[in-house]
Chain A
């Protein structure tokens, strides 16, 4: 595979896409898991399908459409959550379905032969283009810089939002900012594992890292490394067995997490007990 990689551009693109996806899902995944925003992220991801359809219909880049739709969904969910009143899980599930429905509608409105949209739904790391890569690189840089620049603020906000607000940290800004970062992360991951499979890559590396360390920064770093392993193992299996890359990456991720969880539970050495994966001392 390494020899093929040096030869073929599409394999090189897949390699870089895997690295970028691992970085964003490692950093943001840890935050999502700790802040219990997994379902909200799922909602944002699925809403982006509307953007993919919109892109096809209007002729703009589908991934760009996905970005606009997912950012809009993130801001909408954030606003409704902040206002209270309406139950946010209801709103999330409505956006979730509405996004998918709009996607189907827009593609139906599109003149001519319908495109193959399964690569957006289930990912296709081997078909990542140079343009995709530029966009993914930009988004990854923004996500990593945003988390690194305000690391101490994020930590205070994630642990105790109320106290952070009392001492004058702008928590409303952080909340919206986080949702936008999640939207960008989702768009990076769409090309790799697809809209439907995004949740596994967002949660599995973070939850696996949580088994090994209880330090937030280390958890992010471990999570990035674990994500890389999942992506390349999945890519290799996909290449060798000629099966869909998104599916193989997700299967590897989930199986690895379950194995780590079971082995760790049996040996009983527990470094942490994050509520996310249900380990309790």
Chain B
């Protein structure tokens, strides 16, 4: 496997073909074809309900597609546990669960399967200690999670995903409800991580995404665009329908700015 991926200069991390996902009667994703090269840093943008999170879950093997295939490093997602690091949308998490920050990150070190009486090794604890240093949470390690701010919680989830030692990192809105300083820290951390792993990032943060990522995908049920991270008016309009809709999504300034730059060039 590894010799092969060295052989090809840019092997494929994710290959999606003709993917459709249906919830009940409602199609959420239709005919998605997407290839993500190893080492890529892909940003996925799109309106609410555009299927961004669903696409991530299909890559993770958490949902069964109605049709089409997903391959992660050449294999079906279910055979590929332990290769993907996942940072879920923290809005859906139980922030009052009785667990400390360190314990959360340690769960990333659990092995596959179900070995009874599993205990974390000293190595596991060292790895977690180093990760907490890396994301800047070492001093908060023994806090209960309900005592953390949005930014701290989000960095904890990133550390947990990294504890798996993934080759592919998937993040769902990692900068939502996070303060500006944490947001910058998260983006510089991701840029650093991208030197050693493939990253796929789902976000609402249009401006940030175009300056940070290597490639961009726009999703609105269908894949509207996939390529260089340049946002022009045509793409944004086909994604969101009309600019009024954008204002309603709560990011008017950034989008208007992008529009202005596009117009003046």
Hey, which bits of chain A sit against chain B, CB under 8 A? 34, 85, 148-150, 152-153, 155-156, 158-160, 162-170, 173, 210, 213-216, 219, 272-275, 281
Q: Bound state CA distance, A215 and B146, in angstroms?
A: 12
Query: Does any Cβ of A come within 8 Å of B82's Cβ?
Result: yes
- Minimum CB–CB distance from A159 to chain B (whole Å) comes to 5
A272 touches B146 (CB 8 A): yes
Q: Bound state CA distance, A82 and B222, in angstroms?
A: 28
B96 touches A274 (CB 8 A): yes
Q: Bound state CA distance, A168 and B80, in angstroms?
A: 9
- Minimum CB–CB distance from B22 to chain A (whole Å) comes to 12
Of B81, B104, B144, the contact of A166 (CB 8 Å cutoff): B81
B82 touches A167 (CB 8 A): yes
Of A34, A150, A153, A167, the contact of B98 (CB 8 Å cutoff): A34
- Which of B3-11, B112-120, B176-184 makes up part of the contact surface? B112-120
Q: How large is the interface on B (under 10, 10 to 19, 20 to 34, 35 or more residues)?
A: 20 to 34
B98 touches A214 (CB 8 A): yes
A219 touches B118 (CB 8 A): no
- Minimum CB–CB distance from A47 to chain B (whole Å) comes to 27
A167 touches B164 (CB 8 A): yes
Query: Does any Cβ of A come within 8 Å of B91's Cβ?
Result: no
A153 touches B94 (CB 8 A): no
A272 touches B98 (CB 8 A): yes
**In chain B, residues 12-27, which have Cβ atoms closer than 8 Å to a Cβ of chain A?**
24
- Minimum CB–CB distance from A120 to chain B (whole Å) comes to 34
- Minimum CB–CB distance from A104 to chain B (whole Å) comes to 37
B94 touches A159 (CB 8 A): yes
**In chain B, residues 141-162, which have Cβ atoms closer than 8 Å to a Cβ of chain A?**
144, 146, 160
Query: Does any Cβ of A come within 8 Å of B39's Cβ?
Result: no
- Minimum CB–CB distance from B23 to chain A (whole Å) comes to 9
A216 touches B118 (CB 8 A): no
- Minimum CB–CB distance from B56 to chain A (whole Å) comes to 10
Of B88, B116, B146, the contact of A163 (CB 8 Å cutoff): B88
B96-107 near A? 1/0 per residue, CB < 8 Å: 111100011001
Q: Bound state CA distance, A219 and B113, in angstroms?
A: 27
| Given A159-B94, A159-B104, A167-B164, A214-B144 contact (CB < 8 Å) | yes
A152 touches B120 (CB 8 A): yes
| Given A165-B62, A173-B114, A272-B146, A216-B88 contact (CB < 8 Å) | no
A155 touches B114 (CB 8 A): no
A159 touches B107 (CB 8 A): yes
Q: Bound state CA distance, A150 and B220, in angstroms?
A: 41
B110 touches A156 (CB 8 A): yes
Q: Bound state CA distance, A275 and B24, in angstroms?
A: 30
Report chain A residues within 8 Å CB of B118: 150, 152-153
Q: Bound state CA distance, A148 and B117, in angstroms?
A: 7
A149 touches B93 (CB 8 A): no
A170 touches B107 (CB 8 A): no
**In chain B, residues 73-89, which have Cβ atoms closer than 8 Å to a Cβ of chain A?**
81-82, 84, 86, 88
